Amino acid sequence: ALGIPLGRRLIGIVGRANVRGVLVAIAVALALLLAFAAEKAGSAAIVGAFAAGLVLARTNRGHDIDTALKPVVDIFAPLFFVFVGAQVNVAYLNPATPENRAVLLLAIGLTVVGFLGKFAAGYAAWGGVRRAFIGAGMVPRGEVGLIFASIGRATGALPERVFVALVLTVFATTFIAPPLLKALRPNRREQPRPQPA
C-alpha cells in the first residue's frame, strides 16, 4: 500500500531532474531492488519485479517508462525464450519409449485441464459478458509460467520430464489461444451492454 505513493514521489523527484536516461535507470533499479528483496524473502524474483511494475504503472510517468523500455523488451524477450527452449531435452519429444509417451500425455493433460479450468472460471464471471471469450483470454500460460518452470528446474523441485511437459503446455496454450480468441470475439454490434451494478 505504501509502495504506490512512495513510487509516485520518487518518480516525481526524478522527473523534475530532466536528465536523459535517469527515469529508465531508476525504474530498472527499482525492479532489480524489489526482485532482490523478494528472492531474499524466499519468494521468486519475478514477484518483486512485478510489484515494481505495478508501482511504476500508477505514476504519472508510467507510460513514458513503458515506451522507453520497449526496445529493451524487444531485445531480451526473444533471448529469454531461446534460453528456455535450450533447456528442453528434445529427446523427450520422441514417443518411441513409454517414458517419453508419459511426458507427452502429461503435457496434453495439463493443456486440457488448463483449457477446461479457464473456461470454467470464465463462466463464473458476471452477467452481460461473453463468458467463453473471457475464459479463452485466460488460457495462455505465457512467460510467467516459463519463468517459474525454469526456477523449479534450476532448484531441482521439478524433474526434467515435468519441466518439458510444462514448457510444451505453455507453448500449446500460447499458440492456440489467439485464433480461439479471434473466433470467439463478440461482434461489436451484437455485444451486450454491461449490466448496471
Contact indicator for 72, 20 with CB cutoff of 8 Å: no
pLDDT one-digit tens code per residue, 62-85 = 888 888 889 888 998 889 888 888
> Cell 507427452 identifies what position?
104
Domain ranges of the chain: 3-75, 90-184
Contact indicator for 23, 65 with CB cutoff of 8 Å: yes
Check residue 14 and give its pLDDT.
67
Report d(CA 5, CA 107) in Å as an integer: 43
Helix (H) / strand (E) containing 154: helix 142-155
Angle between helices 45-57 and 62-87 (to 10 degrees): 160
Q: What's the whole-model pTM score?
A: 0.70
pLDDT one-digit tens code per residue, 71-130 = 888 998 889 888 888 888 889 888 889 999 999 999 999 989 888 888 777 676 666 567
